[in-house]
Amino acid sequence: MTFKYQYQHKLFYKIVILAEQSGLESFPTIRRIDLYNKPQCHTIIMFNLKGATMSFDEASLKVHRELSGKISILPKVKINDIKDLATFYTPGIAAVSKKIAEKTCNVWKYTSRSNLVAVISDGSAVLGLGNIGPEAAHPVMAGKAVLFKEFANIDAFPICLDTQDPQKIIETCKILAPSFAGINLEDISAPRCFEIERELQDIKIPVMHDDQHGTAVVVLAGLINATKVTGKNLSKSKIVIVGVGAAGTAIAHMVNDFTKGKAEIIAVNRQGMVCNINDLENRKICEAVNKNKISGKLEDALLGADIFIGVSAAGVLKKSLVSKMAPNPIIFAMANPVPEIMPNEAKEAGAMIVATGRSDFANQVNNVLAFPGIFRGALDAKATKISKEMLLAAAHALANCVKNPTKEKILPNPLDKSVALTIAEAVKKEAIKQKIAREACR
């Protein structure tokens, strides 16, 4: 895939992408025009496919319909004659089953389990679509499986559950565990996601909720490099996190772990600082990270703040609030598709570095920078879980992928496939150091 950039009027830029899709009719041109200096970011994305103009939505529907989805299962061997059939199925396969029956640990040696990850969702918090159910979640989970394969050569499979009962999800994951080397929990709403992941840490394979920890790893890596550029000290920074769902909670805990409790972290939701709110999950995060136990509204929290991290909703952060922050603040505005504040507005109000979740702005925070490498490292180490230390090692490795960070580049390009290998090596080393790998099968 090649990219041609053509800058025109200051209000917008045009990207023309020339792409070829193997096995399909070619996608000759994709034209994208973004108008930035508007109250909303108006985006017109058009395809020219077989002479017809199509949006990304229309093109996605067409491809999924023609291919019946985007993943398939391919064998590693060929059945060309009766000997092949007898070797790879009956009667020869019985010898493999006997080996595993003698010692269950032989399953890792004689089957593909060691490279299989289940992508499990209940469809309760899918992308920006909300609670759309297991059937509608399936194409998103299949997309996650594609990313696992493309970036980490992991064979992943979507499993969408027709229940939103935490105990049933936990029990189902435990029942499925013998078929997989790891479980990626995906798009499960908070606060249920916390209980589900916590209760699955003893099933002897890595289990990670990517919406929590994948996001947190990328954010922490971005903050490490952003503070290098701005000259700020993360451990001495005042950090305001808006949105205390799966991602926001994990970010708060990971930054707190990284700074060893030294950073001043204030978590805020719709009702204000979480220490205002008397429920179990908010009390937990208040006790864990808000060391001064202060209360108030967002504008109170932002006074003199060095860093804003938004995982909330469009337009939450106004220019007037940015101007009340410390000099040269760092803004991570990750609401999608419209961030808490547009980058140009944040910079006009004094922000030095701005990151978003979007690919059309600098400093994209994208989970694909983290989860493939984390799981690749865990699987290679034969780890029985993904520890806090392994996640911190992943964040350090990701930050180090950018040798000379700048205001416009604090994270690698999400399409850089070398990143996953770098993270995998760091995660593997940490897992071995912690001695949390499976015992060798003797």
E strands, 50-181, in order: 52-54, 116-121, 155-160
Same domain, 150 and 229: no
Query: Is residue 73 one of the residues assigned to a domain?
Result: no
pLDDT in tens, 42-66: 333 444 444 556 788 898 999 999 9
What domain count does the chain have?
A: 3
Same domain, 25 and 127: no
Q: Catalytic residue at 144? A: yes
Same domain, 321 and 258: yes
Domain-ending residue, one of 205, 231, 265: 205
Same domain, 276 and 419: yes
Query: Is residue 135 one of the residues assigned to a domain?
Result: yes
Q: Is the pLDDT of residue 35 over 80?
A: no
What's the predicted TM-score (pTM) here?
Answer: 0.87
Same domain, 90 and 19: no
Residue 179's CATH number: 3.40.50.10380
Same domain, 329 and 417: yes
Query: Is residue 77 one of the residues assigned to a domain?
Result: no
- pLDDT tier at 18, thresholds 50, 70, 90: very low
Cβ neighbour number for residue 319 with a 10 Å cutoff = 15
Q: Is the pLDDT of residue 148 over 50?
A: yes
Residue 440's CATH number: 3.40.50.720
- Please report the pLDDT score of residue 21 as a whole number: 36
Range from 117-121, 165-169, 268-272, 414-418 carrying the lowest mean pLDDT:
268-272
- SS3 call for 116: strand
Same domain, 86 and 63: no
- Please report the pLDDT score of residue 54 as a whole number: 77
Domain range for 394 is: 216-442
Query: Is residue 72 one of the residues assigned to a domain?
Result: no
Q: Catalytic residue at 83? A: no
Catalytic hit among 50, 83, 89, 433: 89
Residue matched to tokens 């220019």: 319
Same domain, 283 and 341: yes
Cβ neighbour number for residue 269 with a 10 Å cutoff = 19
Domain-ending residue, one of 40, 67, 94: 67
- Please report the pLDDT score of residue 36 as a whole number: 36
